Homo-oligomer: A and B are copies of this chain.
Amino acid sequence: MKLRDIAQTLHCELRGSGDVEISGVAGIEEAESNQLTFVSNAKYIPKIRTTRAGAIILSPDAPSASIPSLLSSDPYTAFAKAIELFYKAPKPLPGVHPTATVSPGVFMGDNASIGANVVIGEGARLGKNCILYPNVTIYPFSEIGDDFVAHSNSVVREYCRIGDRVILQNGAVIGADGFGFAPQKNGGYYKIVQSGIVVLEDDVEIGAHTCVDRATVGETRIGRGTKLDNLVQIGHGSRVGEDTAMAAQSGLAGSTRVGNRVFLGGQVGAAGHLTIGDGVVAIAQTGIARSVEAGKMISGSPEMDFKLWKKVYLLMLTFPELVQTVKQLKKEVAELKQKLETS
C-alpha cells in the first residue's frame, strides 16, 4: 500500500514522498523500511532520527523526521487505524457449531457465531452479531446486547445484563458469587446468598481472568466505555463509572464507587464502602483506604497526594542521614548546655 493512500485513508497530512510502499506497521525500534511507525510518547522522540522505518506518523509539533511522515493531531489513534489496514484477526463464521449446547428458550439475534462446546443456559437472550468462541458458558436468564464478543472460557452467570459492543477476553467471569459471609458466634461463617446481578453497560471491555462479582442484593455495575485489564477484581456491589480504566491486577473491595474517567494503575487496591471521584489517577500499587476527591492524583499505601508522596519518598532515602544529623545535634546541644552551665 502506497503511503499516499494511507495518508488519505487516515486523513493525515503527507510530508515527503507518498510513493513509499508500506506493507505493515511496527514499533519505532523494530520497524523496517517497508513499515510504518509512530511517535506519541515524548520519551520516544529521540528515536525519530534513528528509526529504520519507511515512514512515521507524527504530531505536527514533533521534530520533523528525515523519512516520509504522516502528520496527525492524534498520532496514537492514527496508528491504531493504520494497524487495521494491515491486520484482521481470523473471524469465526456465523452459525451454531454442532457441539454447542443451546438450551430451550434461548433467544439469539441474527448472524450469531456460536463456537464449539459453547453452552447457553435456558432463557438467555443474545443480540445480533454475537461471537462466542469455543468453551464459553452463558448461564440461564442472562441478557446480552448486540455485537457481543466472548473469548474462550469466559463466563456470564445467571441473570446478568450486558449492553451492546461488550468484549470479554479469555476467562473473564461476570457474576460469580460475591465474597459474602456473616460471621457466626461459633467462629464460623454463614454464606449469604448473592441474589444481585452484574450490569455491564455498552462498550465495556473486560480483560482475561478478570472477575466482576454479582451483588448481594441489587447490582454491581461497570459504566459505559470502561475498560478493565487482566486479573482485575471487582467486589460485589461496586459501581464503576464511564470511560474509566483499571490496569492489571488492580481490585475494588465491595460497595466501592468509582467515578468517570478514573485511572487506577496496576496492582492498585481500594477498600470497601468508599467513593473515588471523577478523574482520579492512582499510581501503580496505591492502596486506597479512604474516599478520594475528584481530580486528585494519588500514590502510596495508604494513599496520599501524589506530590506529597513523592516528596516523602525522596526524603525517606535521606533518612539514615537525618538520623545521623539528629544524633550529632543532640551531642552538640548537650555540650553547649554544659559549656553554658560551667561558663
Contacts and interface: CB of A to CB of B under 8 A. Distances in A.
Interface of A: 24-27, 30, 41, 43, 74, 76-77, 79-80, 83-84, 86-87, 89-90, 97, 99, 101, 115-117, 119, 121-122, 133-135, 137, 139-141, 151-153, 155, 157-158, 167, 169-171, 173, 176-177, 179-185, 187-193, 195, 203, 205, 207-209, 211, 213, 216-218, 225, 227, 229-231, 233, 235, 237, 242-243, 245, 247-249, 251, 253, 255, 260-261, 266-267, 269, 271, 273, 284-285, 287, 289, 301-302, 304, 308, 311-313, 315-320, 322-323, 325-326, 329-330, 332-333, 336-337, 339-340, 343
A158, A231, A318 — most chain B CB neighbours (10 Å): A231
Nearest to A246: B179
A229 to B, nearest CB: 4
Contacts of A248: 179, 211, 233, 235, 251, 253
- Per assembly, the copies of the chain total 3
Contacts of A227: 179, 181, 189
Contacts of A336: 333, 336-337, 340
Which 10 pairs of residues, A with B, have the shortest CB-CB distance? Answer: A87-B195, A119-B134, A137-B152, A80-B192, A176-B208, A101-B116, A233-B248, A77-B182, A179-B229, A211-B230
B209 A209 contact: yes
Contacts of A260: 187
A248 B209 CA distance: 13
A304 B318 CA distance: 12
